[in-house]
Amino acid sequence: GENVEQHPSTLSVQEGDSAVIKCTYSDSASNYFPWYKQELGKGPQLIIDIRSNVGEKKDQRIAVTLNKTAKHFSLHITETQPEDSAVYFCAADSSSNTGKLIFGQGTTLQVKP
Amino acid sequence: DAGVTQSPTHLIKTRGQQVTLRCSPKSGHDTVSWYQQALGQGPQFIFQYYEEEERQRGNFPDRFSGHQFPNYSSELNVNALLLGDSALYLCASSLGPGNNQPQHFGDGTRLSIL
């Protein structure tokens, strides 16, 4: 069935260091891969997304890479800041083309000042 | 530019009761999806509404139902509440129902079942 695995579940880095979160997906027909940041008491906020016709996308300190052959994608945050501390979720669209997103289990990122 | 708004923010119910949650999509969006997020987990897809019709349902029982109005706002109804229904219910809106459409989430309704 449809599944997205996300690792690690927790990640602690020093301010200024880089953070990498990795996800694998099961449905080879998935074409859209968004990343969300969720702060305490808030809903998930879309921070970056990538489509299957692109291998890498960057937006300031955030970048996402996609390897369709291996069915995995990663989020890279450079020069981390304390305000980057949050729970991050990866997701993949369902092959049913209905906009259904399958989410990973989340990564709690802590950036220490 | 108003984002996705949900009401109420918190709700406490008892087992067997019924609940209605409401969502107004982001300005310009016409599609609403509902997700359930248990504590410490990623959101799980319940269903999506477009053109006032349910397009696809996730792995949720018929106790979960919904509606979309002509102004694109939506309601999620849950009947015969169980303790396991305690969760954060999230609404996401998008422009169009298909894949590749970015979904923007509201802050959710925290539902607690006693």
Q: What b/e sequence results for A91-111 when a residue is b if at least 16 CB atoms lie within 10 Å of its CB, and e otherwise? A: bbbbeeebbbbbbbbbbebeb
- Facing residues of A20 across strands? A76
Q: Are A99 and B106 within 8 A, CB to CB?
A: no
Write the pLDDT tens digit of every residue in A19-49. Answer: 999 999 999 889 999 999 999 999 999 999 9
CA–CA gap between residue B12 and residue A112 (Å, rounded): 36
Write the pLDDT tens digit of every residue in B80-89. Answer: 999 999 999 9
Q: Are A97 and B4 within 8 A, CB to CB?
A: no
Name the pLDDT band for B11 (thresholds 50, 70, 90): very high
- Residue numbers of B between 18 and 47 with CB closer than 8 Å to A: 31, 33, 35, 40-45
> Cβ-count burial of A80 within 10 angstroms (0-12 exposed, 13-18 middle, 19+ buried)?
buried
pLDDT at A1 over 70: no
Average pLDDT over residues B3-9: 97
Residue B5: CB atoms within 10 Å? 15
Report the percentage of chain B scoring pLDDT > 90. 90
Average pLDDT over residues A2-15: 96
Q: Which residues in chain A are closer than 8 Å to B100, comparing Cβ atoms? A: 31-32, 51, 93
The overall average pLDDT reported for chain A is 94
- Among all residues of chain B, which has the CA nearest to that of A108? B40
Write the pLDDT tens digit of every residue in B17-73. Answer: 999 999 999 999 999 999 999 999 999 999 999 999 998 899 999 999 999 999 999
Report the percentage of chain A scoring pLDDT > 90. 86
Write the pLDDT tens digit of every residue in B24-37. Answer: 999 999 999 999 99
> What per-residue confidence (pLDDT) applies to B1?
63
- Residue B108 half-sphere exposure toward CB, CA atoms < 13 A: 22
Query: Measured between CB atoms, which of B35, B42, B99 is closest to A105?
Result: B42
Q: Are B99 and A94 within 8 A, CB to CB?
A: yes
pLDDT at A91 over 80: yes
- Facing residues of B23 across strands? B6, B74
